[in-house]
Amino acid sequence: MDWGAIDRYAKSLIKEAGHRIRVSFAGKIQIDTKADANDLVTDIDREIEQFFISRIRRDFPGHRILGEEGFGDDVRSTEGVVWILDPIDGTMNFIHQRRNFAISLGIFADGIGMLGYIYDVMADDFYHAYRGEGAYRNDERLPRLEPVAVEKAIIGINASWVAPNRYIDHEAVGRLVADCRGTRSYGSAAIELAHVAAGRLDAYLSMRLAPWDIAGGAVIIREVGAISTNLRGEEPDMLSSDTFIAARQGLHPSILDRYIRLKQT
Ligand code: 2AM
Ligand code: CA
Ligand code: CA
Ligand code: CA
C-alpha cells in the first residue's frame, strides 16, 4: 500500500471539502433533526459526506468508507482499508456559530489507524499524522507531550457531566472539576482532540462518541504520546459508540482511577 500517495490524496480532498463548506455559507443551509430536537444535521453535512464518498469510491474502489451520515458502506468488520469520516464534527457549532467545527478522517488498515486528519475549517488549522511518523499542525511537527498532574491540567469536559446522568457518578467527576486547574468545552470532539495533540488541553472526556468522532484524532494523539481509551480503559473500538477519554500519559490513569465511577448501563 502506498500510504504516502493516500496521504497526499486525503489532504487535498479534505482541503477541497473545507473550501466547499466555507462557500456553503453564502447560500441557505437546510437544518433537520435526527434522534432528538438537539441532534442536528444539515444538507451540507450530507453533501460533504457524499463528496468524499464519490471521490474515494472512484479512486480507491477496494476501500470501504464508514461515514456518520450513512452514505458509505455498512462496515461491520475492520478488515482491509476503511476510511472513517465525519464530514462536519460540531454541526451545532456549524449552524449556530459558523466556526468551531472540523472535518475528521481516520484511515485504518485491518483495524490499525494509519493516517489521521482533523481540519478546523474556519481557523484553517490542519492537523495530520501518519502512524510512526509524528503528528503535525499546518506541517509543523507537534512535540511529544510531557506528563502533567491533575492539579495542573486543563480538561475538556461537557457541563452535562456534573449534572445527574445515566453514565457516570457526577459527584466523583465534580471532584475532578474541582481538583484540576480548569475546564473547557468546545462542542467538537475532533477539535478537542486536536487541542489535546497540541498541548492546549491535557485531557478530553466524553460520555458517548462514535468511531467517526475519534478515528482521525486517535491516530494524531498517539503520535504525541497521548492515550485514548473508553472509560473502562480499553482501546476504542472503531465499529461502535462508547465512552471516551484522551489524555497525556500519567494523567490518563489518574483520572480513571480517582474520578470515574461508571454506572452499569
Ligand atoms: P457531531 O457534531 O458530528 O454530531 C458535541 O459535544 C460532540 O459530540 C460533537 O463532536 C458531536 O459530533 C458529538 N455528538 C453529538 N451527538 C452525538 C451522539 N449522539 N453520539 C456520539 N457523538 C455525538
Ligand atoms: Ca451528528
Ligand atoms: Ca461527530
Ligand atoms: Ca458530524
**Cα 70 to Cα 49: distance, rounded to the nearest angstrom:** 9
Residue ending a domain, among 118, 141, 164, is 141
**Cα 211 to Cα 49: distance, rounded to the nearest angstrom:** 15
Considering the domain boundaries, does residue 264 fall inside one?
no
210 lines ligand 1 (CB under 6 A): yes
CA distances from residue 121 to 170, 189, 213 in whole angstroms, order as listed: 33, 14, 16
Residues 116, 175, single domain; the answer is no
Residues 12, 123, single domain; the answer is yes
Residues 104, 181, single domain; the answer is no
Considering the domain boundaries, does residue 16 fall inside one?
yes
The residues, any chain, with a CB within 8 Å of residue 264's CB and separated by 6 or more, are none
Residues 28, 124, single domain; the answer is yes
Neighbours of ion ligand 3 (CB under 5 A): 86, 89, 213
Residues 127, 167, single domain; the answer is no
Considering the domain boundaries, does residue 246 fall inside one?
yes
Whole-model pTM: value is 0.97
Q: Taking a C-beta distance cutoff of 8 angstroms, is the pair 160, 173 a contact?
A: no
**Given this model, what pLDDT does residue 161 score?**
87
**Given this model, what pLDDT does residue 48 score?**
98
Considering the domain boundaries, does residue 230 fall inside one?
yes
**Given this model, what pLDDT does residue 58 score?**
98
Q: Domain span at residue 219?
A: 150-259
Residues 137, 172, single domain; the answer is no
**Given this model, what pLDDT does residue 5 score?**
98
- Nearest ligand 1 atom to the CA of 91 is 2
Radius of gyration of the chain (CA): 18
Q: Taking a C-beta distance cutoff of 8 angstroms, is the pair 216, 190 a contact?
A: yes
Considering the domain boundaries, does residue 79 fall inside one?
yes
**ipTM metric:** 0.97
34 lines ligand 1 (CB under 6 A): no
Q: CA torsion, points 61, 240, 188, 124, in degrees to nearest 10? A: -20
89 lines ligand 1 (CB under 6 A): yes
**Cα 230 to Cα 238: distance, rounded to the nearest angstrom:** 11
**Given this model, what pLDDT does residue 134 score?**
98
Q: How many domains does the chain have?
A: 2
243 lines ligand 1 (CB under 6 A): no
Q: What is the CATH number of the domain that holds 61?
A: 3.30.540.10
49 lines ligand 1 (CB under 6 A): no
189 lines ligand 1 (CB under 6 A): yes
Residues 157, 229, single domain; the answer is yes
69 lines ligand 1 (CB under 6 A): no
Which stretches of the chain are DSSP H helices? 3-24, 43-59, 91-96, 170-179, 189-197, 211-222, 251-259
Q: Whose CA is nearest to atom 6 of ligand 1?
A: 187
Residues 9, 125, single domain; the answer is yes
Q: Whose CA is nearest to atom 11 of ligand 1?
A: 90
Residue ending a domain, among 116, 141, 166, is 141
Residues 106, 132, single domain; the answer is yes
Q: Whose CA is nearest to atom 20 of ligand 1?
A: 209
- Nearest ligand 1 atom to the CA of 210 is 21
- Is the alpha carbon torsion for 200, 68, 52, 129 positive or negative? positive
238: cell is: 472503531
**Sequential pLDDT tens for the chain (265 residues):** 899 999 999 999 999 999 999 999 999 999 999 999 999 999 999 999 999 999 999 999 999 999 999 999 999 999 999 999 999 999 999 999 999 999 999 999 999 999 999 999 999 999 999 999 999 999 999 999 999 999 999 999 999 888 999 889 999 999 999 999 999 999 999 999 999 999 999 999 999 999 999 999 999 999 999 999 999 999 999 999 999 999 999 999 999 999 999 988 7
Considering the domain boundaries, does residue 173 fall inside one?
yes
Residues 31, 95, single domain; the answer is yes
CA 246 to chain centre: 10
Tell me which ligand sits closest to the C-alpha of residue 187: 1
Residue ending a domain, among 78, 110, 141, is 141
Task: Report the residue among 188, 191, 204, 230 best suited for mutation to probe ligand 1: largest number of ligand atoms under 8 A from its CB.
Answer: 188
Q: How far is the CA of 187 from the centre of ligand 2 (A)?
A: 11
Q: What is the CATH number of the domain that holds 255?
A: 3.40.190.80
Residues 191, 118, single domain; the answer is no
Residues 69, 199, single domain; the answer is no
Considering the domain boundaries, does residue 265 fall inside one?
no
SS3 136: strand
